[in-house]
Structure 1
């Protein structure tokens, strides 16, 4: 594939880190008038499975589950809308909303969509948090077959506070 026809996937979420990674990507990877295709991917949490009772003995309403699903879609739409505003000069822009564990879904979408570069933000969790929560970016870097660019948002310096 020619260098000016790359498929670049940027994983976005509600965090500042992913929007910073997208901004960095737009300034440093996706240039105006390029033939690159930029794919914005938002991964919704997997649908929660509830038992017939919610632990208090009351039947868990399907209305509540539907409301939670609508809210999840509204969050996804808001995140992608914010991301699309940053991409106003990108001619070839695609958006995707998928559900599941972000680690697995991002890896699957990279393969399925034939992505050339994966760009992700880093939450910068320390060793302990990363051990408990797992690192999505680390998992993807270990499991996808394309280059992975992990963009860390700079920490504010003492003069910025």
Structure 2
């Protein structure tokens, strides 16, 4: 933990569209945030980068600016929806910060733990099996290995 008193922690919770991250946030609120504490809860949503398609990549897709604008608008709406859902869970807390990052979630989450001075990072686990995790990668595993603070990975019961 940082040099801040134990009751003044900065807790970063990564949220996304999955139920797992909302479960991790709920778990955090029940088990890490203490009544009358001066904890600051930071909700972080990361917008993934726009997929880039060209005539040379073999997909054969070229998108008009209208289609790209629609895709960007959808990503904005998704971010707003996730953040609103997370904020509703935190309605009794005084110290809640909202941050939105852009880029590869693995890198952005790790960068934000340092930039925001997080004392702990809380994340949900999608519970991918070995094969799926090998193909898709695991954001939580990457963050557990690379974040500059302790990482708590909360797995939703099945």
Q: TM-score range by the shorter chain?
A: over 0.9
Alpha-carbon distance, 1:52 to partner = 6.2
Asked whether the equivalents of residues 32 and 89 of structure 1 are also in contact (C-alpha less than 8 Å), the reply is no
Partner SS state of residue 21, structure 1: helix
The one-character-per-residue Cα deviations of 1:45-97 (angstroms, maximum 9, x if unpaired) are 102223268716xx521111111111101000000000000001111001111
Aligned match of 1:132 in 118, 127, 135?
Answer: 135
Distance 2:15 2:27 in 1: 13
User: Which consecutive aligned stretches of 4+ in structure 1 deviate over 3 angstroms post-superposition?
Assistant: none
Is residue 119–residue 151 contact of structure 1 (8 Å, CA) maintained in 2? yes
1:34 counterpart residue number = 37
User: Please, which runs of 5 or more residues in structure 1 have no aligned partner?
Assistant: 156-161
Q: Would you say how many aligned residue pairs link Structure 1 and Structure 2? A: 153
Per-residue CA deviation, residues 113-145 of structure 1 (Å, 9 max, x unaligned), is 110000000011111111001111010000012
Alignment of 1:92-131 (within 5 A): 92-131=95-134
Structure 2 gaps, min length 5 = none
Which of 71, 74, 77 is 2:80 aligned to?
A: 77
Q: Is the 8 A contact 1:7 1:115 kept in 2?
A: yes
Q: TM-score, normalised by structure 2?
A: 0.92
1:19 aligns with 2:22: yes
1:55 aligns with 2:60: yes
